[in-house]
Amino acid sequence: MDPSVTALFRAILLSGVLLATRTFAADAAANRLVIHTDQGRDKISRNIYGQFSEHLGHCIYGGVWVGEDSPIPNTRGIRNDVVAALRKIKVPVLRWPGGCFADEYHWRDGIGPRAQRPAMINTHWGGVVEDNHFGTHEFLDFCQQIGAAPYITGNLGSGTVQEMMEWVEYMTSDASSPMANLRRKNGQDQPWKVPFFGVGNESWGCGGSMTPEFYADNYRRYDTFIKNYPGNRIYRVACGANAADYRWTEVLMKNVGRRMNGLSLHYYTNPSGDWGRKGSATDFDEAQWFATLRGALRMEELVEKHAAIMDQYDRQKRIGLVVDEWGAWYDVEPGTNPGFLYQQNTLRDALVAGLTLNIFNRHCDRVKMANIAQLVNVLQSMILTDKEKMTVTPTYHVFEMYTVHQDATLLPSQLECADYEFDGKKIPGISASASQDAAGRIHVTLCNLNPNNPAELSCELQGAKASRLSGRVLAAATMQAHNTFDDPTAVKPEAFDAFKVTDNGFNASLPSKSVVVITVE
């Protein structure tokens, strides 16, 4: 879309739609949010806002790593523009090297002088040959540059117990031992902090096609040799279920239990429900908009049902539910390698992100980490690159807007809202969550899922009184709006003031198809 046309649409949206909706129509009573500001107890872990980077397509090579000799500005081979963008969204934790890639990755191939590292075939993603120039040292350097804690997934599928044991020693031991001394030889004197470690990935599928019983036995074996060296304590994540495989969760909780700190869950949404033809990322109609959001809302059911099983074995909620792959998965962009999973990212994806993060926030007593797939150039990414070009996506902006929830205290809330109906089906028209930060500010994140109509919302603050409000909104004139290298600001946050303080809270007018953050002081 021509940038001037995009700017006109944005002007119409912000000056026309918002002005019109400030009338706070009488149907606001249909949408009522009650926030119990005096009942906050659980913390929203910052790790819910985690990211995922896999050796897949151009996520690592070209997206993160360009090499030290590249004309693209970099620090030790890592793109400066990507680092700067990621620091703005305060990435708390980054998962690597996969994904399916993890269970065919042998870490020794990615250390030492780069010219001497053996190449490998990426059999899962495009059959390309990669040179292993981005390995353990480069990944941990990248984490330090963006300020994220590393979450490494070990190779259980095709690797050995000894290989996994020695990788942990290589990274985290300060002893005068063979692996620690090998690390020193390769240029890293002090051990790294590696707080999170996954024991295999999707062991029910690409990670080994295992039964839950077989995986549970293997987990116990491998976990025995993952050591906590002085100064580093590992949060161990066991491979959990694919979507609604509740039996997998049952077996893992029963057979592994307290040997794990976290249990993973993977779930993606697409408009068709057909993983052969998933639908276009940009060429879609309202039917596909509705189906995608309806699929994303299923995350609540999955979290609740898996959590209920976990509660039977862990009433103290010591084991975290770790949703370390989630997001929207469409057909690849026309003309791109189908094994690279490169897709555009529209306002629809911003709503997928906003409502999903609201779900995680509301279930933060059990959900302790989540990692959207993926960081750069793959699936529902934060960033798109093409050689020296870079742009951030609508999903990136949602993560930036939602940083206010990181490590804040969840405020329990109840939402009554009108449904968004399409073709005889219905979903809630609004998604919401609320928290209070250390300074006492209350942050309310709201998504209007209806692409056609604004939503008038009445919010009651029980236990607090609003004296001053501020806000931001992410919206656009069309459902398909997205950022490109030629028009990188087609979708971006704007100031929001379509609200007014009331005696017991505030009223707000949410534009159609929008994500809104309101701060109450």
Q: What is the pLDDT of residue 277?
A: 87
> What pLDDT band is residue 29 in, cutting at 50, 70 and 90?
low
> What pLDDT band is residue 108 in, cutting at 50, 70 and 90?
very high
9 pLDDT higher than 80:
no
Give the pLDDT mean for 381-410.
Answer: 98
Q: Sign of dihedral through CA atoms 56, 62, 67, 73?
A: negative
257 pLDDT higher than 90:
no
Listing from the earlier edge strand, what are the strands of the sheet with 430-436? Answer: 409-410, 430-436, 442-448, 514-520, 469-474, 494-495
b/e per residue 358-396 (b: at least 16 CB within 10 A): bbbbbbbebbbbbbbbbbbbbbbbbbbbeeeebbbbbbb
19 pLDDT higher than 90:
no
Q: How far apart (Å, rounded) are the C-alpha atoms in residues 512 and 495?
A: 16
> What pLDDT band is residue 30 in, cutting at 50, 70 and 90?
confident
* Inter-residue contact 322 to 236 (CB < 8 Å): no
Q: Sign of dihedral through CA atoms 12, 13, 16, 17?
A: positive
Q: How many CB atoms lie within 10 A of CB 57?
A: 27
Name the token pair of 399.
């993560």
Rg of the chain over all Cα atoms, to the nearest angstrom: 23
Q: How far apart (Å, rounded) are the C-alpha atoms in residues 482 and 260?
A: 40
Give the pLDDT mean for 34-46.
Answer: 97
Name the token pair of 160.
């050995």
Q: What is the pLDDT of residue 22?
A: 38
Q: What is the pLDDT of residue 193?
A: 98
* Inter-residue contact 137 to 171 (CB < 8 Å): no
305 pLDDT higher than 60:
yes
Q: Where are the alpha helices (DSSP H) in 51-135?
A: 80-88
Q: What is the pLDDT of residue 167?
A: 98
Residue of 291, 260, 256 whose CA lies nearest to 274: 291
416 tagged catalytic: no
Contacts of 261 (CB under 8 A, 6+ apart): 235, 236, 237, 318, 319, 320
Give the pLDDT mean for 272-292.
Answer: 93
Distances (CA, A) of 151 to 52, 171, 196, 372: 9, 12, 5, 13
Predicted confidence (pLDDT) per residue in 187-221, tens digit = 999 999 999 999 999 999 999 999 999 999 999 99
Q: Which of 48-52, 141-145, 273-277 has the lowest mean pLDDT?
A: 273-277
User: Which residues are registered as beta bridge partners of 328?
Assistant: 269
User: Which residues are registered as beta bridge partners of 236?
Assistant: 197
Q: How far apart (Å, rounded) are the C-alpha atoms in residues 496 and 507?
A: 13
Residue of 430, 337, 441, 352 whose CA lies nearest to 394: 352
Predicted confidence (pLDDT) per residue in 114-145, tens digit = 999 999 999 999 999 999 999 999 999 999 99
Predicted confidence (pLDDT) per residue in 448-497, tens digit = 999 999 999 999 999 999 999 999 999 999 999 999 999 999 999 999 99
Residue of 92, 201, 80, 81 whose CA lies nearest to 143: 92
Give the pLDDT mean for 314-321.
Answer: 97
| 3-state SS assignment for residue 475 | coil
Q: What is the pLDDT of residue 145?
A: 98
* Inter-residue contact 476 to 13 (CB < 8 Å): yes
> What pLDDT band is residue 294 in, cutting at 50, 70 and 90?
very high
By DSSP bridging, strand 514-520 and strand 262-269 are unpaired
Q: What is the pLDDT of residue 187?
A: 97
Predicted confidence (pLDDT) per residue in 349-359, tens digit = 999 999 999 99
Q: What is the pLDDT of residue 273?
A: 81
**Catalytic residue (choose from 130, 169, 202, 300):** 202
Q: How many CB atoms lie within 10 A of CB 287?
A: 13
Indicate the DSSP class of residue 145.
H
> What pLDDT band is residue 276 in, cutting at 50, 70 and 90?
confident
23 pLDDT higher than 80:
no
Q: How far apart (Å, rounded) are the C-alpha atoms in residues 179 and 191?
A: 11
Name the token pair of 250.
């049952």
User: Which residues are registered as beta bridge partners of 41?
Assistant: none
Name the token pair of 274.
């057909």
* Inter-residue contact 121 to 127 (CB < 8 Å): yes
Q: Strands, E, within 214-258: which ranges?
A: 235-242
Q: How many CA atoms lie within 13 A of 133 on its CB side?
A: 16
Q: What is the pLDDT of residue 24?
A: 41
Q: What is the pLDDT of residue 288?
A: 97
Q: Which of 7-16, 24-33, 258-267 has the lowest mean pLDDT?
A: 7-16
Query: CB burial class (10 A; 0-12, 13-18, 19+) of residue 97?
Result: buried
> What pLDDT band is residue 3 in, cutting at 50, 70 and 90?
very low
Q: Which of 17-21, 211-215, 278-282, 439-443 has the lowest mean pLDDT?
A: 17-21
Q: How far is CA 114 from the centre of its chain?
A: 31
Distances (CA, A) of 311 to 253, 338, 345, 366, 505: 9, 40, 36, 9, 35
Q: Strands, E, within 243-358: which ranges?
A: 262-269, 320-328
178 pLDDT higher than 80:
yes
68 tagged catalytic: no
Residue of 408, 364, 412, 469 whose CA lies nearest to 37: 412
**Catalytic residue (choose from 138, 169, 300, 325):** 325
Strand (E) or helix (H) holding 292: helix 286-313
